[in-house]
Amino acid sequence: MVKRYHVSGDEGEKIDPKEVPWWTSCRLGLAILGFFGFINVYALRVNMSVAIVCMVNQTAIRSTDDANTSAHAECRVSGNNTSGPQFQDGDLIWDKEKQGYILGSFFWGYLVTQIPGGWVATKFGGKRVFGWSMFVATVLTFLTPIAAQTSYIFIIVIRLLMGVVSGVCFPAMHALWGNWAPPMELSKLVAFTYAGAQVGIVVTFPLAGVLCQYGFAGGWPSIFYTLGIINFVWVVIWMIFISDSPAQHTRITSIERDYIIQSQAESAHSQPEKKLSVPWLKIMKSMPFYAIVVSNLTSDWGAYTLLTNIPSYMSEVLKFDIASNGLFSCLPYIAFWAVINFSGWSADFLRNRGILSTTSVRKTFDLVGKGVPALLLIGLGYVDCTQPITAIILLTLGVSITGFQYSAFVVNHVDIAPAFAGILFGISNSIASVTGFVSPVVVAELTKEDQSRAQWQIVFYIAAAIYGLGALFYLIFASGELQDWAKEEKEPEEEKMNPIEMKRMGVPNGNEKV
């Protein structure tokens, strides 16, 4: 079968990227709506991390553990540390072990749907997979307060199901970018989209802190009702305005559509006209793919260790009250958002100018995104609650610099196999998501009897060591080149023709049927 193209311009002339709109483009529109989508994805993911602080009767839990912790407490909450608004304890008696399982249950479900999500998105399109999954997430979010007040087991089931529907979001978006992203714009488009995840954290931490104290429906339930409403509005907009590919989009200009198709074809990153069978065995033998998997796994350990435990760390170690907790917890992710976007633009700049190859960019950015945070986390472990500003600075830098990884392994699936990007992301993120339920339990076990600086040093040393191993493996085995097993087998005549020649010879374009 011959691949088909529709190319604008006289005699199929090459389209100059400078003539293609950017700020009014549909690909930027996809990035913006995807950005807001991932704000919601992470808002619904991390809301429990803050809400649980005011859902649980902390006084009852502390009184149970006082005999074990009093001898080790390095700091006491003083008047200076609790100057913010005070709030009443919640009425749920969940000890540290139960809290760890509740926070980790999301990731049991998240693990299940990564690979199926990538396969379904590749087969049926990322738009519907992403949109409908977030609709179900809205329903589950509305049910969360009822579940929490009904049964400890019920809330675990709800959070597990939330993980199930959330697990398809990243693979679905990767599948969309496999169709939409011109290769030399890939880093910045993907980085901008996924940076919404960090904004979701930035918004949710302080908002949840305020709603805990002042919200309707008894305080903390308003966290889930408010975020559920916002997400529902986004789902409606997404389903109306997004298409699975430029060819299916009804409002895209012809020059933008043809530019995307042409640029992907010239770099051998275009989606095949016919659906290729997934080369499972070759994927399992690919070291560049294993480099992504290991990098993803080690990155997520550090990220999830901090993501699910920052509120508790602020409250129990640095002794910030809940209002300050929400404010200071979000600062690392404001910087994270900025670094993600900076790295995306920088990566594409270095590649476009020929300063570094795609492979060199991916490896360099991954090394920075893991190596520097590893050192900063070790330093954070030696800061106590008498140095809160130093702790905030180290924590902010440690979290934010990991944003360089978004222009490394996060986008690397599309480099090596654009036709299977959603599936590859599903596999790597499925394996990596194991850390989402393992790391909270490990942290809970390490700190449940002693919320001291010494115990948190162990937590940070473990995260730093895992970061280092991941960076080394990726540095050795990663690649930014299209892999042979991801290429479509072409007929001899087709291999000799570029899109322009094919049009001149009367080869049918993508809008015609054969």
| Lookup: tokens for 59 | 């006084």
* Band of pLDDT at residue 469, cut at 50, 70 and 90: very high
- Mean pLDDT lowest among 56-60, 277-281, 312-316, 324-328: 324-328
Sequential DSSP letters for 153-178: HHHHHHHHHHHHHHTTHHHHHHHHHH
- Mean pLDDT lowest among 110-124, 175-189, 238-252: 110-124
Share of the chain above pLDDT 70, in %: 77
* Band of pLDDT at residue 11, cut at 50, 70 and 90: very low
Share of the chain above pLDDT 90, in %: 33
In the predicted structure, residue 344 carries a pLDDT above the cut 50: yes
Write the pLDDT tens digit of every residue in 355-391: 999 999 999 999 999 999 999 888 877 877 677 778 7
- Residue 241: phi, psi to the nearest 5? -105, -15
**Contact assessment for residue 141 and residue 162, using Cβ atoms and an 8 Å cutoff:** yes
In the predicted structure, residue 509 carries a pLDDT above the cut 50: no
Q: How far apart are CA 99 and CA 103, in angstroms?
A: 6
- Mean pLDDT lowest among 148-152, 178-182, 309-313: 309-313
User: What pLDDT does 371 receive?
Assistant: 93
User: What pLDDT does 139 receive?
Assistant: 95
* Band of pLDDT at residue 325, cut at 50, 70 and 90: low
pTM: 0.74
User: What pLDDT does 453 receive?
Assistant: 72
| Residue bearing the bigger pLDDT, 286 or 123 | 286
DSSP 8-state code for residue 248: G
Average of per-residue pLDDT across 185-211: 86
Contacts of 175 (CB under 8 A, 6+ apart): 118, 121, 122, 125, 126, 129, 421, 422
Q: How far apart are CA 155 and CA 102, in angstroms?
A: 7
* Band of pLDDT at residue 269, cut at 50, 70 and 90: low
Residue given tokens 């408010």 in the structure block: 226
According to CATH, the superfamily of the domain at 18-65+96-504 is: MFS general substrate transporter like domains (1.20.1250.20)
The CA-based angle 194-232-400, given to 5 degrees, is 25
User: What pLDDT does 264 receive?
Assistant: 77
**Largest Cα–Cα separation, the chain:** 84
User: What pLDDT does 10 receive?
Assistant: 42
- Mean pLDDT lowest among 83-97, 98-112, 151-165, 215-229: 83-97
Write the pLDDT tens digit of every residue in 301-318: 888 776 666 666 666 676
Average pLDDT, the chain: 80
User: What pLDDT does 239 receive?
Assistant: 95
Write the pLDDT tens digit of every residue in 54-84: 887 666 555 555 544 444 455 554 444 444 3
Average of per-residue pLDDT across 207-232: 85
